[in-house]
Amino acid sequence: MNTKNTQSLFQKDLVNEALKQALIKLDPRVMIKNPIMFLVEVGTVVMLVVSLWTLMGEKSQGSFGYNFTIFITLFLTVLFANFAEAIAEARGKAQADTLRKTRQETPAKLILENKRGFEVETVQKMSAQMQLGDIFLCVAGDQIPMDGEIIEGLATIDESAITGESAPVIREEGGDKSSVTGGTKVHSDRIKVKVNTKPGDSFLDKMIALVEGASRQKTPNEIALTILLAGFTLVFIIVTVTLKPFADYSQTPITIAAFISLFVCLIPTTIGGLLSAIGIAGMDRALRANVITKSGKAVETAGDIDVLLLDKTGTITIGNRKATEFYPATGISMEEFVKSAALSSIADETPEGKSILELANLPEESLILENATFIEFTAETRSSGVDFNGTEIRKGAFDSIKQMTEKAGNVFPNETEESVKMISNNGGTPLVVLKNGLVMGVIELQDIIKTGMNERFQRLRKMGVKTVMVTGDNPLTAKFIAEKAGVDDFIAEAKPEDKMNYIKREQESGKLVAMMGDGTNDAPALAQADVGVAMNSGTQAAKEAGNMVDLDNDPTKLIEIVEIGKQLLMTRGTLTTFSIANDVAKYFAIIPALFITFIPALQFLNIMNLHSPQSAILSAVIFNAIIIPFLIPLALKGVEYKPIGASALLRRNLLIYGLGGIIVPFIGIKLIDLVVTFFM
């Protein structure tokens, strides 16, 4: 397990760095990016001036101690908000430092003139000097200097520096596992790699830039919420300003400190202070799940997806069909049939062929053949086998073997045909074995569904996400696997364009679609999908097309990504609800306290029965400041997500963060008022 997932939220070195950054972020040029907290900072400066004014003898604005306390509290409010953002960024920078150690100048064996084989002339060159298209050689013990595609060879690669997982993985030329990452290490064997990135533009470089925050931009949702909160702030500016003529009319003196405190308490400072931290922490959680997101928008979108496309092979199933049962024909003994099946599979290097030998479990000496001619599988014959000492054994598809049987002048057994139908109806693949023109029996191959897949799809269903399995299998087999795995729908006999067309159809109906892929043939669909997750082991084309990269190469990671996305959206929504609910309580704390002396009719609004106008204002401002650091852990960890349905989630969160957001300030302000009264 990757240990970075279990890191403490507040490590000493991260806190120290965050405190420094919180002070640096007080620069107005930085603060202006957050309009709400910028206005609080402006209010803080005004209160500093007012404090100095009262220190010089001004009596109309209250005591120096009162005004200075307001100033300190507002200053801490801004500092706490900056700290929330800084601690989220510091966690990312700590990860970047670890990655930077991995990304170092690495010597490479540059191939001068490439030719087939590994007996080639090389020259040493540093990774920073390598160019796009260069070909280098890596042997066991070498660190891979640059991102690239394996063009020859096979090797086990230690990717622990990138993924945190210690188990080496196999990478080979061709197929969908040909990509290697700079900074990883060749564990065994040797490979030739063609560089496919420019210096400074590698996967590690992009990853470092991302986690440092250099590539982080506000998402559309975050921008929209910022505008909404700015609108609220404008409304409360008007509300606060209009209180002045009301106060003059009622002959109620209101100090500058009271006006600023009222304004700061009414505007949504809580969510304003935590908004950036929530977005950064969401991407950080994705990274800790070993998922690199190219933008925060992708994480958010994952939380809103309606349809999830998953490949069958390697995602829902373990990846290869396995032989599960032998069905001998009538009159053929099980021993004879099993041996014929095993002999036909000796030269079959496919996983299916190996699984037949494994199921047969015959001693090696019984499978030794002299003068044997092995017949390879072809698309035309749809069969393979072996010829030896006048014996012909063939293994293949039902219709092909049936033709061979009838051509030899024999009748295909009815019971075997029934077995073929039974296997197909159960979602399996039947392979019929023929010996010298006589049917020996049928082998059942089955897709082995990964453990716990049904439960995972049920969880997604509760989230409101429709799951669709994509497979090249025939509709009958696809239907069986889909039902057994628990997916909502399937696409059988799928071609690359079928995935693309399905995504487009769903998007045209207003749905958001996610998919995962690793091959070049997946690239168009990954680019079309709203959330495209490419596996790090996949081809460069797939990684470029997707907006996320899964470092663990776990095809079920999409489920975790969806939960991270929903958690991000929920955290932002619930804390916004809490912040606005807070404002209601603070309104009832300050307004009655300001006017109750001169307008006794407002007594019914004085729910908290606070000691004095000054203690009420101080208590509200202090509560407004301290609630931010109390909510930082929640912003960083995220609100717990449970797949209980949207309506149930809404009711739950409104109850906890809506009603709780009203009740907590009433209690908190009253308690602070009791303490403040001792010092006044």
- Count Cα neighbours of 669 within 13 Å in the Cβ-side half-sphere: 34
User: Which structure tokens are listed for 301?
Assistant: 């979108």
311 belongs to the catalytic site: yes
Q: Please say whether the beta carbons of 181 and 147 come within 8 A.
A: yes
Query: Which candidate in 147, 304, 311, 518 is catalytic?
Result: 311
Backbone dihedral angles phi then psi of residue 253, each to the nearest 5 degrees: -75, 125
Helix (H, G, I), strand (E, B) or coil at 546: coil
- Count Cα neighbours of 507 within 13 Å in the Cβ-side half-sphere: 15
> What span, in angstroms and rounded, lies between the C-alpha atoms of 546 and 522?
9
Sequence-distant (≥ 6) Cβ neighbours of residue 250 within 8 angstroms: 595, 598, 599
> What span, in angstroms and rounded, lies between the C-alpha atoms of 243 and 254?
9
Around Cβ 245, how many Cβ atoms within 10 Å? Answer: 9
According to DSSP, the β-strands at 373-375 and 383-388 are: antiparallel
Of 457, 416, 419, whose CA–CA distance to 439 is shortest? 416
Backbone dihedral angles phi then psi of residue 482, each to the nearest 5 degrees: -60, -45
Angle ∠(293,294,299) on CA atoms, nearest 5: 45
The b-or-e profile of 280-307 (16+ CB within 10 A means b, else e) is bbbbbbbbbbbbbbbbbbbbbbbbbbbb
Q: Please say whether the beta carbons of 67 and 54 come within 8 A.
A: yes
Q: Please say whether the beta carbons of 301 and 460 come within 8 A.
A: no
How remote is the C-alpha of 24 from its chain's centroid? 31
Query: Sign of dihedral through CA atoms 662, 667, 671, 673?
Result: positive
Burial group, residue 182, by CB count within 10 angstroms (0-12, 13-18, 19+): buried
> What span, in angstroms and rounded, lies between the C-alpha atoms of 488 and 465?
9
Around Cβ 482, how many Cβ atoms within 10 Å? Answer: 25
Q: Which residue has the tokens 């997932």?
A: 5
Q: Please say whether the beta carbons of 131 and 195 come within 8 A.
A: yes
Q: Which amino acid is at 235?
A: V
Of 84, 440, 53, whose CA–CA distance to 281 is shortest? 84
Partners of 193 in the β-ladder: 136, 150
- Count Cα neighbours of 541 within 13 Å in the Cβ-side half-sphere: 11
Q: Report, as residue numbers or ranges, the catalytic residues.
A: 311
